[in-house]
Structure 1
């Protein structure tokens, strides 16, 4: 028998405990890493930036805009989504204008006309995708604009947002490392290439939570650092190589051994601004002179520069103002509830100091990284999917007498026409249902009804626009009668254009969508009866009896019955077949019996069971009228019929052409408030593009603003000042 000395036994025991302790640390950091990565991949964050032609408008004017869709994690364009939802909200957060914008290759343009009845005040532009609706009211683009109406003498209504309306709820017990807590975290950037994180804890904290914590650092969803930290003393210092930190806002979170978040801190790592776009132009022009802008995008080998997308606006320069560019906006995006355009004022992004940004971040909260959801056992189901190929039309089935949702019921969608199409959906436990609609500009005629014809059911169609808004209050400006001088000039220009009936909106731009060719959902029928091939019979019962063998339409007093004989067993199926008129499902055979045969063009019959997904038709009898629009049938009370357009048409900006001498000398004044707008600038394969337009009759300094995304996926933002004299 081999005897082991006590000292050796102690060493072995100590090493085994130490190894076990180290393994626990590794397991916990791996678990935290996996949960974080999974969350950022499944609950990914989209951002929208909207480039508009101006920030100040007169009621009745046009607003021109172009939006860009970006993935927050990669900071690259998003090509999946095909629809953006664009809104103009009143000072009271009521929707004034709503548009559905087609997105092509992460970009989409739009146009709207402000009602001339708007009173002066702060109005809000809001834009989001279907996916972003899951996280509203925070995850959307929001920008305040000022609208003035000199003809309506009312005080200027100014919108003020509540501080807590733009911050997500932090997990219980978490703090930002400020005084009053037992655990504090601060940072020190000495410029040595290492970021020092200073963690201070008091004895009471270490007694309650132990002497080990975990630290995780990420930048817009990309994991930079994760480790365990021993805090045996009042102060522990962690050194993280600055090379590990991405530029932007770095989010630092400390966890206890149970992975409960205890403290967090946000710090700023400066961005490197590279001049991706250059502009060559003269700085001075005369009125009605041709303005020429030569743009050149950085051309790298292997990069398809002609795949870049840019938009340009040219409008009068307003003193002491700085238009928020796409690079400005994406510093915070919508994640932290910080309205960059409200804070930066006339600062340019390259002028932001680390101290300035860090001071803004002291009270910040991420409304994306919710640690309760990150570390949850199961991911939360999200209602609104990405609209990659189709638009999702949603609604609820409600019991009309008790106003409660009805679950596990089929809902049917039809579109009246001579080609029968069919979709079905089943309600969930909240009564919700949804259908896929092709993305195009056409107006569809839709009929939605429950499969069970019960008058006690009510269908409620959900608006595609969200009803969740950031909380705000409205204050009447005490100096409401004082209108800024540049606004007075804009107002005069607008009135002159209106007097001369000058419009700068041209023909509609057709979206590059793919129309879907309709086919009969039931394919080739067993019987295809063309009524004009036969003599006209007086009633539909005779049509079925004489011309449709094996299909019986019988009337018994006030009740009608429609059946199909099984061609194999030669027996009645025992179920009423699916019945359609002009592609719309009907439930009452007397509707078919009551049709005038003169109005019917064709009858199709499927004599066997036919399945669409898991929905079963016990045969099909489909009547197509000559009108083909379901106008000969009364819509039942439980059904909903509505015209529906998926994306809205977009107008184009019309810029005057003064190349001819006669036009140059015409006396109609040109008082454009927006000198030029183009939402779709595309460089050639060498990265060059020339833009030409004419100056107006207004002598002023103009700001040229170019925003966009390069072929490499980098953000482009350029401002330049020219003068017309």
Structure 2
């Protein structure tokens, strides 16, 4: 398959507020399709939104459908077991993969890539997590060498790498290194910033515009501020004040002429910022979206031109077109009424096009989802003692109807270090995942009501741009994506080049194998770019891989393996971090607890779930199998084959040994060497193979017919297996590439002691666990399920957190606190 880098000019979904020149022309192909078949609708009053027949869009919806089929929109969510860790502890997580439109589980990929990034976006931990039925689980043991600070956990699939890193999952965690003497981290937050976002994308002279703004500290958190807008003469033309999370709006009319505008922002008593507003255009359009009723939005458009003009509105939600309609601009004004029920739940994107077939304004709107997965969870007692059994009853429902779901559950101790809670799955999938950057306190936009909540939500839509959908991607000529989905396992990619240069080698067959008693072999033929790819559908843990070419076809090409991890990073600001003297006793306490657990329970850290291994070789059942210990052991491999392997004929020619397989079915001898394997690794030099000590070989398998393997054809297969499965020192050719490679993570099991007998309850081993319980596979049905675990020796308050997803796409979370009292 050909790998081609996905290129193209990307249309900005949220017009840059720093743009200084007029919008560039473009988008003609899209607009021609969009306007084809749309009829003009002249009116002097408001136009009520209507969904035009999709056929009238002249193929745009067909292109959108094609795009959805070629590139299904994915989202990942990770439920992390807790927000704060100590170096040396284990980070546990559950991965949920959903489609980007309706948040239903999507099994497009079988692998998720999870990374822990430091403040400089350098990965400190990386892992591949196997996904089954769109879900998976993994863990990282945090090294004691990590510096204390705030870190980003991000996750993505191979398909998601074809698009921007802004669409990857991101979450922030705190890691404290109690082994280090200090940890200043990134505590300094003295730097502030203010950004301004004209509604619709542009300021236009002579047209009154609403401007959203956001004032943040160095970490990206909103801060309270107030300010004023000054023209070139120093006159105040507008004043403003933040509402929530450092966001707010103000309105003003840029005057005609060369005037520029500057905002002065005051933070507290002594700090003042000065920022230039985007330069107004001389001509153009402005858009305003107002909430004018419980079920109605009003879209207002003003233009500098008074001539009649037909404009076109297109609204979509996560690749689904919700409405398309024309509206008539008369005397430079138009209004458009939108029924909120026409827009899908979550974030919607409204784009306005003018008569010249150019996008002129864009706007986001958030509709709070009405349905969510209701998770009810309650403990059997209001209070517990140490080493006491806790039973939690869990049920899930859609409204009042029981709904089966897959959940994950964590129980961790609340203390001064764990002051924040993790991100909720429904808040992320319906809001944060579709906006640029991180959303501060997303819970507020789902639960708050009233005028202030509506205004705050609108401010969020004005100041944090759309992170996903790009129309040019939809309408571009389809090209193969650089990164393919991985439905059966990780795909390893490599490039074959001419030795001594970067010139790619095309049409060369490469072989991938892993020395093992489990015989697996993959092949791939290089494309015009010299790229080959191999599917590793049963590669678990870390092992050596062997990549080589057949020297009869090519013996000189260089092989370069590529990392499967993304090398593109979103721009993110981490929250401040610093060790403070006020929490010194808490650091010492957590350090002691962690070290005690490592000493007395460290042996349980690397418990792994039993893996079901398919021992069948890639070529299936062999024609004959020889366990050499059942026969006379010869010291020369030639004697072994001649004496009791009639399916293989040994010939000696001028260039040395040749092995010919006897095809008994067709009563013939295949004329070329078979594929010879040693512990699954192809051996093309038969002389080397024949020189190996047969006493190191335990088993010989023979396939006595031709075998077609991808684009390759073998004249039978002769497979030798050593006792250890590690080649037993066999010398590989110099051009063979041998590298250590990490497959998907082995499934580490969470360990927690049980005090279900009197002797266990009286055990003198200390139990100072901070994380009492972690279960990534809680499957609910139509009846409640009971989960049991035991408290440890630490009294305190423990937070129980459940998150999950139903098959229909309903997501939800729930939490409550357990009180554990010390024993009397």
Q: TM-score range by the shorter chain?
A: 0.7 to 0.9
TM-score (norm 2): 0.72
Is 1:121–2:218 an aligned residue pair? Answer: no
| 1:620-639 alignment runs, 5 A limit | 629-631=726-728, 633-639=730-736
Partner of 2:134: 106
Partner of 1:702: 798
Is 1:692–2:788 an aligned residue pair? Answer: yes
Note if contact 1:322-1:345 (Cα within 8 Å) is conserved in structure 2. no
- Given candidates 61, 71, 74, the residue that maps to 1:46 is 74
Displacement of 1:84 = 1.8
Partner of 1:311: 409
My pick for the range that moved more, 538-547 or 224-233, is 538-547
Partner of 2:179: 151
Offset from partner CA, 1:19-53 (integer Å, 9 cap, x none): 98749997662422222333234322211222222
Q: Cα 1:286–1:664, aligned 2, differ >3 Å: closer, same or farther?
A: same
Q: Cα 1:241–1:631, aligned 2, differ >3 Å: closer, same or farther?
A: same
Give 3-state SS (helix, strand or coil) of 2:59's partner: helix
Give 3-state SS (helix, strand or coil) of 1:327's partner: helix
Note if contact 1:438-1:515 (Cα within 8 Å) is conserved in structure 2. no
- Given candidates 55, 58, 61, the residue that maps to 2:86 is 58
Partner of 1:92: 120
Alpha-carbon separation, structure 2, partners of 1:605 and 1:663 = 55
Partner of 2:508: 409
Partner of 2:301: 199
Note if contact 1:91-1:157 (Cα within 8 Å) is conserved in structure 2. no
Partner of 1:187: 289
Note if contact 1:100-1:646 (Cα within 8 Å) is conserved in structure 2. yes
My pick for the range that moved more, 217-226 or 397-406, is 397-406
Q: Cα 1:631–1:660, aligned 2, differ >3 Å: closer, same or farther?
A: closer
Give 3-state SS (helix, strand or coil) of 2:412's partner: strand
- Given candidates 392, 406, 410, the residue that maps to 1:293 is 392
Q: Cα 1:347–1:429, aligned 2, differ >3 Å: closer, same or farther?
A: same
Count of aligned pairs? 688
Alpha-carbon separation, structure 2, partners of 1:440 and 1:286 = 45
Displacement of 1:260 = 4.2
My pick for the range that moved more, 708-717 or 410-419, is 410-419
Partner of 1:611: 708
Give 3-state SS (helix, strand or coil) of 1:652's partner: coil
- Given candidates 342, 354, 359, the residue that maps to 2:459 is 359
Is 1:438–2:537 an aligned residue pair? Answer: yes
Offset from partner CA, 1:104-160 (integer Å, 9 cap, x none): 333322232211222211112112222222225222211111112243234432399
Q: Cα 1:23–1:587, aligned 2, differ >3 Å: closer, same or farther?
A: farther
Displacement of 1:390 = 2.8
Q: Cα 1:616–1:186, aligned 2, differ >3 Å: closer, same or farther?
A: same
Alpha-carbon separation, structure 2, partners of 1:298 and 1:150 = 43
Displacement of 1:244 = 0.8
My pick for the range that moved more, 97-106 or 468-477, is 468-477
- Given candidates 556, 561, 572, the residue that maps to 1:461 is 561
Q: Cα 1:513–1:503, aligned 2, differ >3 Å: closer, same or farther?
A: closer
Partner of 2:217: none
Alpha-carbon separation, structure 2, partners of 1:662 and 1:565 = 65
- Given candidates 366, 372, 377, the residue that maps to 2:472 is 372
- Given candidates 752, 762, 787, the residue that maps to 1:655 is 752
Partner of 2:813: 717
Alpha-carbon separation, structure 1, partners of 2:37 and 2:114 = 55
Displacement of 1:570 = 12
Q: Cα 1:502–1:593, aligned 2, differ >3 Å: closer, same or farther?
A: closer
Offset from partner CA, 1:176-233 (integer Å, 9 cap, x none): 99673512222122115332211222219x7xxx923332111222221012333243
Partner of 1:387: 486
Note if contact 1:125-1:144 (Cα within 8 Å) is conserved in structure 2. yes
Q: Cα 1:267–1:565, aligned 2, differ >3 Å: closer, same or farther?
A: closer
Offset from partner CA, 1:399-427 (integer Å, 9 cap, x none): 34113432321111234456754321011
Give the RMSD, CA atoms, in angstroms: 4.3
Note if contact 1:184-1:263 (Cα within 8 Å) is conserved in structure 2. yes
Give 3-state SS (helix, strand or coil) of 1:459's partner: strand
| 1:548-627 alignment runs, 5 A limit | 551=649, 553-554=651-652, 556=654, 559-560=655-656, 562=658, 564=660, 578-596=675-693, 610-618=707-715
Give 3-state SS (helix, strand or coil) of 2:595's partner: helix
Displacement of 1:492 = 1.0
5+ residue gaps in structure 2? 1-34, 42-51, 194-199, 212-253, 255-279
Give 3-state SS (helix, strand or coil) of 2:166's partner: coil
Note if contact 1:303-1:712 (Cα within 8 Å) is conserved in structure 2. no
Partner of 1:67: 95
Alpha-carbon separation, structure 1, partners of 2:442 and 2:647 = 80
Displacement of 1:510 = 5.6
Q: Cα 1:216–1:510, aligned 2, differ >3 Å: closer, same or farther?
A: farther
Give 3-state SS (helix, strand or coil) of 2:324's partner: strand
Partner of 1:12: none
Note if contact 2:609-2:749 (Cα within 8 Å) is conserved in structure 1. no
Offset from partner CA, 1:517-567 (integer Å, 9 cap, x none): 4236286559989797578485739966997699453254xx425375999
Give 3-state SS (helix, strand or coil) of 2:800's partner: strand
My pick for the range that moved more, 309-318 or 42-51, is 309-318
- Given candidates 483, 498, 501, the residue that maps to 2:595 is 498
- Given candidates 62, 75, 95, the residue that maps to 1:34 is 62
Alpha-carbon separation, structure 1, partners of 2:361 and 2:611 = 49
Q: Cα 1:96–1:160, aligned 2, differ >3 Å: closer, same or farther?
A: farther
Q: Cα 1:335–1:638, aligned 2, differ >3 Å: closer, same or farther?
A: farther
Give 3-state SS (helix, strand or coil) of 1:468's partner: coil
Alpha-carbon separation, structure 2, partners of 1:593 and 1:63 = 50
Note if contact 2:377-2:395 (Cα within 8 Å) is conserved in structure 1. yes
Q: Cα 1:150–1:614, aligned 2, differ >3 Å: closer, same or farther?
A: closer
